[in-house]
Structure 1
Amino acid sequence: MSDKTMRPGITTGTCAAAAAKAAVLAWQGRLDTHVEVKTPQEKLIRVAIEKSLAMPGGGLASVIKDAGDDPDITNGVRIDVQVRISDCPDIIIQAGEGVGVVTKPGLSVPVGLPAVNEGPKKMIITAIRDVLPRDKGAIVTISIPGGEELAKRTLNPVLGIAGGLSIIGTTGIVEPMSEEAFKNSLVPQISVVKALGYQDIVFVPGKIGQDIAVNQYGLPEEAIVQTSNFIGHMLENAAKLGVKRVLLFGHLGKIVKVSAGIFHTHNRMADARLETIAAYLAVEGAPQAVIKEIMECTTTEAAMPIIERYNFNAVYNLLATRASLRAERYVFSDLTVGTAVVTLKGKILGLDQAARDIGGTLGWNMTELTTG
């Protein structure tokens, strides 16, 4: 493994603040190639300005986002900020092309406003006030060319942020490969679901699970939260935010790990999928020959035909029941959990009674299992 130090980057909020400051300086006749902006923690960051120019009544400047060694989807995008100087002392921030607008309640930014979080907003205002005459204000329009397309590959559509990317960053600095930052970025989904009035929510590992839940079973898209590999982290936050019931809805390969008490489901953290299936098959009375065949598989999909052939499909209900039990133990029974196990094509293999109850409350289409 390389011991090379990972290079930090700057957030979209830092980029917008720097561009805003450079735009005001351009209005004043200064075309600076670098500016300094202050983070919410009072740290100064020096940012390169791609271009700046004066315009009638204001200025325009651009910054290229540098995410350092972090695999950030916004790395390399251009952030343009146009500042129109006003005699009104307020600083008003607007969303231009490629910057999203909040359309659902539950986020830190109210519905109808640009998706500019509090930290970046503070940075932008501070940067402008640093160079703007005291008797003046400004109308600040932030744009990200191509931002609307990029946003489709983020959680923004799930969170109800329409039309583009968010301007985010609590520290102004991107720490490379920050798992904690990614985990925390998932949590606002829960707040959005709660704000829409749902007490019961659906956890899916990712977009494939979400599409199956919505398109094949009619679960409300507004009640669905993507967990990625961080099921335990999301269960804890659901409990903290007062969620009453959670439906775990996912592929056998993920759910079987939860059945074994594994709540960070990345394969490099823990991978006992086949061992767990084999153990529960043994509980169901499967002979040694079946157990050996399962243990020779490389994926859970490969194990399914074996389970079918030997008529041990009841094991899926057992795995679902056990996943719910382990999940409830994980949060000390602060919420109720139900579990449904599905294939990659969306067929439900097994589920427990809590899953039936929660899914029924949410109005899912389960007619084929009503007699199961």
Structure 2
Amino acid sequence: MKKFLKSGFTTGTCVAAATKAALLAHKGSYLNTVNIQALSGEILSIPIEHVEKKSENEIFAAVRKDSGDDPDITNGIIIEVKVLISAQHKDIIIKAGTGVGIVTRPGLAAKVGQPAVNPGPRKMITNVVKEILKEEYGCEITIIIPRGVELAKKTLNPILGIEGGLSIIGTSGIVRPMSEEAFKDSLAPQIDVAKAKGLDTLIFVPGKIGYDACIDNFGLRADAIVQTSNFIGFMLESAAERKIQNILFVGHLGKLIKVAGGIFHTHNRVADARLEILAVYAASLGASTGVVRDILNTTTTEAAIEILEENHIEGIYDLIAQRISYRAMRYVYNEICIGAVITSLDGTILGIDENAKKIGGVLGWNIK
């Protein structure tokens, strides 16, 4: 029987719902659940964790985040708002309280110095205020996430220049289970931040091995490094759209070799042909049938490296690096110059192509 996954709601929806509960309490109506119209047009019924009226014009309300069946680190956290209602002005002011990040670098949806609240959530919050307060009052909404500082360390916020906590995000208001789009939306702004600094030569790393190699082994600047995760094709397209000129791929053989085979979504559940690709390249350089079979019978590329060393298959990693660059450039219709550096688990260079040497030189790396 097919299992239907449960949808959830975004941090932006939590803030909008808590704001609505607070504003209704100001008018004397204390509700356990409020209805919010998502930006997609759907009506969401959001449970309210608690509402407390501190004074005539100061109300606190809270919502517990429900991500449904999506594996989201914010699932189950409490998101609070403090709403101050003012008859003196008609503005809707959104502030960052404890656990909500502040933007410190240009290039993101929110301006430097502002709370990291994206346009979608801002619109939902504004819609709620206008619905309840009409044109009578303005208000100041302070968003508080008690666990925000702790959880932000597990996100890309420190890399993006969002300091002090989590972002309030969401494009529709709804969390779709296993949503790749939400993850992609968190990756692409890295390019905007780098571009806002005037950088048009970037380093793409699929994960920690590539990142650490760039910093510890190659002496490259951290603000030029962009995390791609498994979405290499998407990030290449995003870079092309933003007119990036050069990209240096740096990463472990087991991840980047997939690109050499034309695989641009590298999650192993989508495509896992690491050993098959490696075996083909080994064969092209004269490896025997037995060596090819041994490679295919291993379970990791690290184990395959030992086989290649034992059988003196020379030049294979440089060849694969060339193919990675070729495939990636073809993917973006040669609009970007791309080079590749393949590393082992400890960040040691296994293979490098000529484009990588040129781009690395432009970036000022310390490789001779």
Q: Secondary structure at the match of 2:143?
A: strand
Q: Secondary structure at the match of 1:360?
A: helix
Question: What amino acid maps onto 1:26 in structure 2?
Answer: A
Q: Is the 8 A contact 1:115 1:166 kept in 2?
A: yes
Q: Is the 8 A contact 1:313 1:349 kept in 2?
A: no
Match of 1:202 in 2: 203
Any gaps of 5 or more consecutive residues in structure 2?
Answer: none
Q: Is the 8 A contact 1:342 1:348 kept in 2?
A: yes
Match of 1:85 in 2: 85
CA offsets per residue over residues 61-114 of structure 1, 9 Å max, x none? 000011111111111000000011122110100000111111111111111100
Query: Is 1:104 aligned with 2:98?
Result: no
- Aligned equivalents of 1:151, 1:271: Cα separation in 2: 31
Question: What amino acid maps onto 1:340 in structure 2?
Answer: V
Distance 1:290 1:43, change over 3 A: closer
Q: After TM superposition, give the deviation of residue 14 of structure 1 in Å.
A: 0.7
Q: After TM superposition, give the deviation of residue 245 of structure 1 in Å.
A: 0.9
- Aligned equivalents of 1:207, 1:149: Cα separation in 2: 20
Match of 2:228 in 1: 227
Aligned residues: 366
Match of 1:16 in 2: 15
Match of 2:26 in 1: 27
Q: After TM superposition, give the deviation of residue 309 of structure 1 in Å.
A: 2.4
Question: What amino acid maps onto 1:75 in structure 2?
Answer: N
Match of 2:149 in 1: 148
Q: Is the 8 A contact 1:27 1:53 kept in 2?
A: no
Question: What amino acid maps onto 1:44 in structure 2?
Answer: I
Match of 2:58 in 1: 58
Query: Is 1:39 aligned with 2:44?
Result: no
Match of 1:193 in 2: 194
- Aligned equivalents of 1:127, 1:249: Cα separation in 2: 46
Q: Is the 8 A contact 2:58 2:85 kept in 1?
A: yes
Q: After TM superposition, give the deviation of residue 219 of structure 1 in Å.
A: 1.4
- Aligned equivalents of 1:207, 1:31: Cα separation in 2: 48
Q: Which runs of 4+ in 1 moved over 6 A?
A: none
Q: Is the 8 A contact 2:187 2:227 kept in 1?
A: yes
Match of 2:185 in 1: 184
- Aligned equivalents of 1:25, 1:269: Cα separation in 2: 47
CA offsets per residue over residues 135-171 of structure 1, 9 Å max, x none? 3111110010111111111111121111111111111
- Aligned equivalents of 1:92, 1:270: Cα separation in 2: 47
Q: Alignment RMSD, CA only?
A: 1.5
Q: Secondary structure at the match of 2:110?
A: coil
Q: Is the 8 A contact 1:27 1:55 kept in 2?
A: no
Match of 1:4 in 2: 3
Q: Name the TM-score, length of structure 1 as normaliser.
A: 0.94
Question: What amino acid maps onto 2:5 in structure 1?
Answer: M
Match of 1:74 in 2: 74
Matched ranges for 1:216-365 at <5 A: 216-365=217-366
Stretch moving more, 222-231 or 33-42: 33-42
Q: Is the 8 A contact 1:231 1:265 kept in 2?
A: yes
Matched ranges for 1:99-138 at <5 A: 99-132=100-133, 134-138=135-139
- Aligned equivalents of 1:4, 1:276: Cα separation in 2: 34
- Aligned equivalents of 1:295, 1:12: Cα separation in 2: 45
Question: What amino acid maps onto 1:29 in structure 2?
Answer: G
Q: After TM superposition, give the deviation of residue 298 of structure 1 in Å.
A: 1.4
- Aligned equivalents of 1:184, 1:129: Cα separation in 2: 28
Q: Secondary structure at the match of 1:291?
A: helix
Q: Is the 8 A contact 1:235 1:331 kept in 2?
A: yes
Q: After TM superposition, give the deviation of residue 133 of structure 1 in Å.
A: 5.4
- Aligned equivalents of 1:254, 1:170: Cα separation in 2: 30
- Aligned equivalents of 2:339, 2:17: Cα separation in 1: 48
Matched ranges for 1:160-175 at <5 A: 160-175=161-176
Q: Secondary structure at the match of 1:62?
A: strand
- Aligned equivalents of 1:313, 1:163: Cα separation in 2: 49
Question: What amino acid maps onto 2:225 in structure 1?
Answer: I
Q: Secondary structure at the match of 1:271?
A: coil
- Aligned equivalents of 1:208, 1:55: Cα separation in 2: 50
Residue identity over aligned pairs, in percent, reads: 53
Q: After TM superposition, give the deviation of residue 292 of structure 1 in Å.
A: 3.0
Q: After TM superposition, give the deviation of residue 32 of structure 1 in Å.
A: 1.6
